[in-house]
Amino acid sequence: MRPVLPEEMERMVGVIHSKFSAIQMQLKQSTCEAVMTLRSRLLDARRKRRNFSKQATEVLNEYFYSHLSNPYPSEEVKQELARKGGITVSQVSNWFGNKRIRYKKNMGKFQEEASIYTASTVADTTKVWGPRSQASCPSTASSGSSGHFPLTSARDALITLRTLASPRPAPGGGSLWSQSRGSWQGTTPPVSTSPPAGYPSGANSHASH
DNA sequence: GTAAATGATTTCAG
DNA sequence: CTGAAATCATTTAC
């Protein structure tokens, strides 16, 4: 065996270095990938979903059904609803998004709810503090919780009666309260209780992250 | 057990 | 960016 020359040695060190770098990079990449997967699996908020409190759903429903013609709360209103319900503004936005689409998709199912929340809540929580703002926080004890039906207006009485009488409004003549004048639910509300068998799949492309 | 309800996310359009 | 629509993942009711 001949002695290894210094030049050869340097060359070998270089090769080992580059191989080591390559493996290091591979390892880093796969590790990062695994971490990302785990993170998305474990930190996805959907896996820790908690239902909102009664207070939150009440406040949200009150506003929604009080502004059925235009259920798009402004940023300030969202903040107020969030504060009253003890949830975040994002949650309010999520809730309204879900509520709008689900209400439109199946209006019949929400009639009962609508009559409940439109009956007595308009004068209670959403409009009180126009003229005078009471300085102290309301105790939020029970604002119209488990139900009394004041039936303060004829319209509410009509809606209530109609709802109780026919749980499934026929698609043809159901829209007694035709509030769909050019508002958010402009398109055809499909059917109440029997969804169509197939979906027209849209074309998908484009990604932005 | 399942099916419905529900909050959160993703994708796409404006 | 906001909102509609679809979808996911969990909770709740049956």
The model's pLDDT over A35-86, given as tens digits with 9 standing for 90+, comes to 877 777 777 777 788 899 998 998 999 899 888 888 999 999 999 989 989 9
CA of A7 to C1' of C3 (A): 67
The pLDDT of residue A191 is above 60:
no
The nucleotide lying nearest A207 (C-alpha to C1') is B11
* Structure letter (DSSP) for residue A107: G
The pLDDT of residue A94 is above 90:
yes
Contact A70, A96 (CB under 8 A): no
- Specify the residue for token string 């009639």: A111
Q: Any residues with CB less than 8 A from the CB of A99 and at least 6 apart, and which?
A: A60, A64, A71
Mean pLDDT, rounded, of chain A: 70
Phi/psi of residue A123, each to 5°?
-90, 0
pTM beyond 0.85, yes or no:
no
CATH topology of domain A54-124: Arc Repressor Mutant, subunit A (1.10.10)
pLDDT tier, A18 (very low <50, low <70, confident <90, very high otherwise): very high
Which residue has the least CA–C1' distance to nucleotide C4? A101
Q: How far apart are CA A22 and CA A18, in angstroms?
A: 6
Does the C-beta of A104 come within 7 A of strand C? yes
A65: alpha, beta or left, given left = phi > 0 and alpha = psi -120 to 50?
alpha
Q: Coil, strand or helix: which one is A6?
A: helix
Q: Coil, strand or helix: which one is A61?
A: helix
* Residue with the larger pLDDT of the pair A120 and A85: A85
Question: In the numeric block, which tokens belong to residue A134?
Answer: 């009471």
The model's pLDDT over A28-40, given as tens digits with 9 standing for 90+, comes to 998 887 787 777 7
| pLDDT > 90: percent of chain A | 27
* Residue with the larger pLDDT of the pair A176 and A73: A73
Does the C-beta of A40 come within 7 A of strand B? yes
CA of A203 to C1' of B1 (A): 37
The pLDDT of residue A184 is above 50:
yes
Does the C-beta of A49 come within 7 A of strand B? yes
Nucleotides of strand B within 7 Å of the protein's CB atoms: 5-13
* Residue with the larger pLDDT of the pair A109 and A182: A109
**Cα atoms in the 13 Å half-sphere on the side-chain side of A97:** 6
CA of A195 to C1' of C13 (A): 22
CA distances from A126 to A58, A121, A185, A196, A208 (A): 11, 8, 23, 38, 39
**pLDDT of amino acid A48:** 81
| Residue ranges per structural domain of chain A | 1-49, 54-124
The model's pLDDT over A138-172, given as tens digits with 9 standing for 90+, comes to 444 444 444 443 444 444 444 444 444 444 444 44
Count the residues in chain A: 209
**pLDDT of amino acid A188:** 55
